[in-house]
Amino acid sequence: MATLRIRHLGRRRALEAAAALVALALLAWWLLPADDPSPGGRVTFATGVPTGVYERYGALLEQRVRTELPELEMELRPSQGSVENIRRVLSGEADFTIAQADAVAAHLGAGGPDAARLRACARLYDDYIQLVVRADSPVRTAADLAGLRVGVGELESGVRPIARRLLTAAGLDPDRDVTTVHEGIDTMPGMLEGGRLDAFFWSGGLPTGAVQSLAARSDVRLVGLGDLVPALHAQDPVARHYRAAVMPADAYPDVQRGEGVETVAVANLLVTAQRADPDVTAALTRVLIRNRDRIAHEVHAAQRVDLRTAIYTDPLPLHEGARRYYRAVKP
């Protein structure tokens, strides 16, 4: 009889343990957030010039897409920058890209072809405008660039229109008072070192790898641009997308030596077109937001990507798929 009681007690405890495990499993399932299904297919992502932040950001995002959306193939294509990226999305050469808010606003304001079809997935990080000269350069302000050879980015880059606006704000005619050189961040640092440029403008997240590398091997200096903000804002409606900003002292420690640099900043947007598949757009936005910290480990500017501010994509409306994602994760 005692033996039967022991066996009965053992079975009961086993059943109770099994029931507890089932309950825990159900609770865990209930508490875990439901994921949208992983979409399939193939998308093209236009990035930027080699060594630029767009190029690195796109590569890191593609790695996360490969891991988290295994049925979706993302092809990266380099470009000159924001202006070309916008054109590629509208022409169908690219499905997604990164572009500066001012470049988007300029395209919309000019009534560019099919501009109304542009949509955004997220506000990303800010680009800081960087005017780089050799340490022994006499250039102390943008006005001192008169008569010099100045790199202003490639013809379809986002930095080119900003550089022209800044030169104008400094009282210079970009076509007559300086010799503008249309090169990208992959070549301008070497040209400055080699004496083929006296200065160059760059618009990028902090730190930009090419500027960082230049600072490590050559004695250079950053010229402040913050005094130009009032004149910049007075130019045209597009200029409202520029804001006064201070480049943190640790952006380029070898150059700044513990001092911030007053400059101008502009937001970057993850851009697509109205035609983009809502499921793909929602999934890509989800991967972007979830992996902010992973991407920021290598692209520090990505630390600025934030769920609370990502929805503020002026001057573009959110794509339907991105809006769906934000609604799903809204607290």
**What's residue 19's pLDDT?**
43
Q: What is 270-325 written as a DSSP string?
A: EEEETTS-HHHHHHHHHHHHHTHHHHHTT-GGGGG--TTTTT--TTSPBPHHHHHH
**What's residue 26's pLDDT?**
34
**What's residue 241's pLDDT?**
96
Encoded tokens for 16: 């109770």
**What's residue 30's pLDDT?**
33
**What's residue 45's pLDDT?**
98
Q: How many of the other CB atoms lie within 10 Å of CB of 234?
A: 9
Read off the pTM: 0.85
CB 290 within 8 Å of CB 267 = no
What is the DSSP-derived secondary structure letter of residue 266? E
Closest CA to 50 of 199, 205, 206, 187: 187
Rama region for 280: left / alpha / beta (φ>0; ψ in -120 to 50; rest): alpha
SS3 217: helix
pLDDT < 70 regions, the chain: 1-37, 112-113, 331
Closest CA to 87 of 43, 44, 46: 46
Angle between helices 278-290 and 320-329 (to 10 degrees): 50
Q: What is 133-170 written as a DSSP string?
A: EETT-S--SGGGGTTSEEE---TTSSHHHHHHHHHHHT
**What's residue 127's pLDDT?**
95
**CB burial class (10 A; 0-12, 13-18, 19+) of residue 191?**
middle
**What's residue 9's pLDDT?**
45
**What's residue 41's pLDDT?**
94
Cα atoms found within 13 Å of the Cα of residue 160, Cβ hemisphere only: 17
**What's residue 17's pLDDT?**
47
The C-alpha atoms of residue 190 and residue 225 are separated, in whole angstroms, by: 23
Helix or strand holding residue 89 (H, E): helix 82-91
What's the sign of the alpha-carbon dihedral 200, 205, 211, 215?
A: positive
Give the amino acid at 239: A
**What's residue 16's pLDDT?**
52
Do you know the residue count of the chain? 331
Burial pattern 14-47, b for ≥16 Cβ within 10 A else e, equals eeeeeeeeeeeeeeeeeeeeeeeeebeeebbbbb
CB 98 within 8 Å of CB 174 = no
